[in-house]
Structures are given as C-alpha cells and as structure tokens.
Amino acid sequence: MRMMEEMILREGVVLPGGVLKVGSFLNQLIDPELLRASGEEIARLYDGAGVTKILTVEASGIAIAASAGVAMGVPVLFAKKHRSSNVDGDILSTPVHSFTHGTDYNMVVSRDYLTGGDVCLLVDDFLANGAAMRGMIELVRLAGARLAGAAVAIEKVFQGGGDALRKEGIRVEALGKIESMENGVIRFATAD
Ligand code: G4P
C-alpha cells in the first residue's frame, strides 16, 4: 500500500539489529488517515473471505486490528500476554517466544470469545520471525475455528516469518513489505 510505504520512508527510523522504529505513526503516536486507510485496505483484501472475527495480540496490533474490524463490520478479539503459565479460568493459551524482545509469554484468550464457528483473520502491526502469528494460529486451532489468513501493517521479509507461513499454505498480506534495511536504507519488495 503506497501510503504505508511512503510513511515508512518518511517517518521510519532503522535501529541496529534490524529493528524499524515506527512510534511516530503506528506504534505509539497513531496517524488517523493511515489507520483508516489500512483498515479499509485489509477489508478490501479479505472481501468475500467469510471472516467473522479478527484476532490480534496486545498491545501494538490492537489499533490496526480495530480499524480493520470497523471496515469489515466484524468483532475484534485481542489476545492478552500473561507472564505466568498458570492462568485461571476457561481460557485458550499457548506459549510464545519473541525473538525480537527476547521474552517468553503465554498468549491467552477467553474460550467464550473464540469458537468453532469462527472464521478468523489475524492482524498485527509487524511480522518479523512470526512467533506472534504462530501463537495466534495455535489459538485458532485450539478453538476449532477456521483461519482465513493474516494481514500485517509491516512485514520484514528478510526475517522469513511471512514466507514460512505462506509455504504452509497460509494467506499472508502485508501493507508494507520491507525486503531489506541494510545500512539504514529501506528497500521494499516489489509486487509479485
Ligand atoms: P519475533 O518472532 O521476532 O518476536 O517477531 P514477531 O513477528 O512475532 O513480532 C513480535 C513482536 O515484535 C511484535 O510486538 C512486533 O511488534 C515486534 N517487532 C518485530 N520487529 C519489529 C520492528 O522492526 N520494529 C518494531 N517497532 N517492532 C517490531 P509484540 O511482541 O506483539 O509486542 P507489542 O509491541 O505489540 O507490545
């Protein structure tokens, strides 16, 4: 999506270790036009896919997921991150290791909110190694729900998480696909 790529080029800051800082438009301060357009683009991409629910994970994925939910007219469920593995109640839970942050957590949703009849679209701000995405896929599996696919604001293609999922037959859409960020220069993947 042109608006996402232009914003990344204008505002994104490449940090050491292949991390892109997007706090001025996506992760902390949120640009309203970009948010609205991102939700509409995700809705356009998944039009006709029968999506009944959007699933994301706290915290930074919630805004774009909510925008997509408004555009698609479907509810948005966000998984919570619990440090402890013994979470009480009737929940679906799966362990996730974040390579980016070097942390472990349990991704948790209430069993009542994700059910066997759901067709889920996974939405997040970033797709890097794909650990968060795989956690959400496991929650969908545990619920017995169906997976329509995934949509992310920014995919860092060079980290391989997106292509690994595509090889497994999962539809993955990215609004900004970053091929490389070597020497601070951001290059986008060209359309297939
Ligand atoms: P991982 O396997 O390296 O953990 O990557 P994954 O694709 O699962 O993304 C996990 C987390 O890493 C996400 O945040 C994502 O926002 C963040 N992330 C990955 N690469 C970048 C980057 O280049 N820049 C920024 N700003 N974030 C990045 P999270 O764990 O869900 O935490 P939160 O920020 O949403 O609270």
Model confidence pLDDT, tens digit, residues 27-51: 999 999 999 999 999 999 999 999 9
Query: What DSSP designation does 129 have?
Result: S
Pick from 103, 40, 105: nearest CA to 79: 105
- pLDDT class of 190 with cuts at 50, 70, 90: confident
- Residue 125 CB–ligand 1 contact under 6 Å: yes
**Per-residue model confidence (pLDDT) at position 87:** 64
Cut 0.75: pTM above it: yes
- Nearest-CA residue for ligand 1 atom 20 is 128
Could you tell me the distance, in angstroms and rounded to a whole number, from the CA of residue 20 to the centre of ligand 1?
A: 10
**Per-residue model confidence (pLDDT) at position 84:** 67
Residue 192, pLDDT > 80, answer no
pLDDT digits (tens, 9 = 90+) for 44-81: 999 999 999 999 999 999 999 999 999 999 999 999 99
**Per-residue model confidence (pLDDT) at position 99:** 86
CATH architecture assigned to 2-188? 3-Layer(aba) Sandwich (3.40)
Classify each residue of 26-37 as buried b or exposed e, where b means 16 or more C-beta atoms within 10 Å of its C-beta: bbeeeeeebbeb
Average pLDDT, rounded, for the chain:
95
